[in-house]
């Protein structure tokens, strides 16, 4: 099975699985298609974080995260905010393409994979060249930024030519991106980093005013690292390590385990209140997370019994903790696959904000990410911007083993919303026995400021019910009702593998995608 937020992308991955391909090969085909069909959320000018497990339960993480450039723009000084868009926000390199080849090398060495990168990205090249029906999601986000994108170098000429806004369903072509993908297919992934394509990328970025250099791009590499884990009943949850917020997701689940989710009912005010309060405690600890190459802080104690018990004891069942803390923005795509051999892959691919930095790298058709905007300019901060450093990362795709074998693949779009959505999904799956489709369709929340609401409110989908809203208000939550199936609540996906081998999965009804069994 494969799941993604684009039906065309899921179909590309399913075709690979039907032809005997591995889960990694299916995900690469899906990821390449998403780079074409979801340019507002991801692309080859961004990063990717991977979780993989073979059928025996050996879990690893691939961190395809670009690093800060060796030169910091003169406009960025200590204590001043980093621009969220434009050339000054293009502070890090992009590692998605390298992560595709890195994962395929693992597939070939350990899973018997035989597919080449060229073969797997060919369908996405054809789609970029010949066009596809533009999604409602892409049109929504283009319209949402219509007052901004005229200032983004090279953007409007591709996505709103002649000032005309596209409508859902009309054919959208990306010939420049198709040529870049063809270059990768012909010359290999590293051409993006130190070949002819790299030269065109750097020239385009430099012309726009970016400080990224050829040497920065050439040094970009995916890393294989050990995942972090947490026991949750008879299941072990795995997440990518620092600099991602995987530890915050696991800490949330550890606090909830201490609180005993089975002592309260699914979808009640208790359910929402305690998950929200667990999130708050995990987020207070999250500011410690940074690139371990630069940060000497031992983060392992975030998951100790003592810390989790203390955080759980700090939670009042009757009163909400005040929450005036900053919110991190971000959009991305979640995709996952499991193959006929039982190998599994769970991935998040992103350019950070919707449309990334907004900067198109010259004639390449590549939108560059603004992930560097996640850095701090505060001297001494764990996530302080420094040359060669990787920023704090919201991406944290999940993978769970049950009795030592792959059981769940899960993840979501949404930056700060990721641990929040995952906690609601996992409690519904693991504690209350809901199916993937049922868990994804249920109401969710989002805590704190967002791009559409500057208040530190708790946004809750309307179908949670009046009784839940009234009860949470009495406990001190500052609530704002949002529509059911709101785009604010993220776009998640789940694949579940039962012990008898039965595979079940779904993608979020809030998305344009689906899970497809092969």
**Count of all residues that appear for the chain in the document:** 518
Pairing verdict, β 514-516 and 458-461: unpaired
Pairing verdict, β 344-352 and 47-53: antiparallel
Look at residues 239, 211, 215 and name the one whose alpha carbon lies nearest to residue 225: 239
Separation between Cα atoms, residue 399 and residue 326, nearest integer Å: 28
Number of H helices, E strands in the chain: 16, 18
3-state secondary structure 180-245: HHHHHHHHCCCHHHHCHHHHHHHHHHHHHCCCCCHHHHHCCCCEEECCEEEEECCEEEEECCCCEC
Separation between Cα atoms, residue 290 and residue 271, nearest integer Å: 31
Look at residues 93, 99, 111 and name the one whose alpha carbon lies nearest to residue 32: 99
What is the token pair recorded at 3?
Answer: 């799941």
Omega before residue 243 within 30° of 0, cis: yes
Look at residues 288, 74, 31, 397 and name the one whose alpha carbon lies nearest to residue 184: 31
Separation between Cα atoms, residue 418 and residue 415, nearest integer Å: 6
H/E element holding 270? helix 269-286
| End-to-end CA separation in angstroms for the chain | 6
Sign of the Cα pseudo-torsion (181, 185, 188, 194, in order): negative
Token look-up 């502070």 returns 91
Cβ(254)–Cβ(300) below 8 Å: no
Residue of 72, 332, 364, 421 marked catalytic: 332
Measured at the CA of 103, the angle between CA 333 and CA 189, to 5 degrees, comes to: 90
Alpha-carbon distances, residue 480 vs 270, 298, 418, 448 (angstroms) = 18, 37, 19, 10
Query: Does the annotation mark 304 as catalytic?
Result: no
Give the residue numbers marked as catalytic: 332
């Amino acid at each position: 099975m494969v799941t993604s937020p684009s039906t065309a992308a899921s179909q590309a991955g399913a075709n690979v699985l039907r032809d005997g391909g591995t889960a990694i090969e299916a995900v690469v085909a899906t990821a390449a298609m998403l780079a074409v069909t979801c340019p507002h959320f991801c692309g080859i000018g961004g990063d990717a974080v991977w979780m993989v497990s073979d059928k025996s339960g050996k879990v690893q993480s691939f961190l395809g995260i670009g690093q800060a450039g060796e030169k910091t723009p003169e406009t960025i000084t200590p204590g001043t905010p980093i621009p969220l868009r434009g050339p000054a926000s293009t502070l890090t390199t992009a590692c998605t393409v390298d992560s595709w080849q890195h994962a395929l090398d693992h597939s070939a060495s350990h899973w018997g994979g035989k597919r080449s990168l060229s073969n797997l990205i060919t369908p996405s090249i054809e789609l970029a060249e010949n066009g596809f029906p533009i999604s409602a999601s892409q049109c929504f986000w283009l319209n949402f930024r219509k007052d901004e994108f005229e200032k983004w170098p090279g953007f409007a000429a591709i996505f709103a030519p002649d000032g005309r806004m596209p409508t859902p369903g009309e054919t959208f072509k990306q010939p420049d991106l198709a040529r870049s993908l063809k270059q990768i297919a012909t010359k290999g992934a590293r051409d993006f980093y130190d070949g002819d394509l790299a030269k065109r990328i750097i020239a385009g970025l430099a012309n726009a005013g970016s400080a990224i250099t050829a040497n920065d791009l050439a040094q970009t590499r995916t890393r294989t690292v050990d995942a972090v884990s947490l026991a949750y009943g008879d299941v072990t949850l795995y997440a990518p390590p620092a600099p991602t917020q995987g530890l915050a997701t696991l800490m949330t689940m550890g606090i909830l385990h201490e609180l005993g989710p089975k002592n309260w009912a699914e979808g009640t005010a208790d359910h929402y209140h305690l998950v929200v309060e667990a999130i708050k405690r995990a987020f207070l600890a999250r500011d410690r997370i940074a690139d371990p190459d630069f940060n000497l802080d031992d983060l392992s104690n975030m998951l100790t019994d003592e810390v989790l018990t203390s955080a759980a004891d700090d939670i009042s069942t009757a009163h909400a903790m005040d929450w005036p803390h900053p919110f991190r923005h971000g959009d991305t795509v979640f995709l996952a696959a499991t193959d006929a051999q039982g190998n599994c892959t769970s991935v998040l691919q992103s350019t950070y904000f919707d449309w990334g930095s907004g900067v198109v790298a010259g004639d390449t058709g590549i939108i560059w990410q603004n992930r560097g905007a996640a850095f701090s300019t505060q001297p001494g901060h764990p996530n302080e911007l420094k040359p060669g450093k990787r920023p704090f990362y919201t991406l944290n795709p999940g993978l769970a083993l049950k009795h030592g074998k792959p059981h769940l693949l899960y993840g979501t779009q949404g930056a700060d919303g990721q641990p929040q959505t995952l906690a609601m999904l996992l409690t519904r799956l693991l504690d209350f026995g809901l199916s993937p489709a049922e868990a994804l369709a249920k109401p969710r929340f989002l805590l704190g400021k967002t791009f559409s609401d500057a208040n530190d409110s708790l946004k809750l989908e309307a179908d949670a019910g009046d009784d839940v809203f009234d009860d949470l208000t009495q406990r001190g939550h500052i609530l704002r009702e949002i529509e059911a199936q709101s785009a604010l609540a993220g776009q998640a996906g789940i694949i579940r593998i039962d012990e008898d081998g039965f595979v079940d999965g779904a993608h979020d009804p809030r998305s344009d995608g689906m899970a497809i069994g092969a």
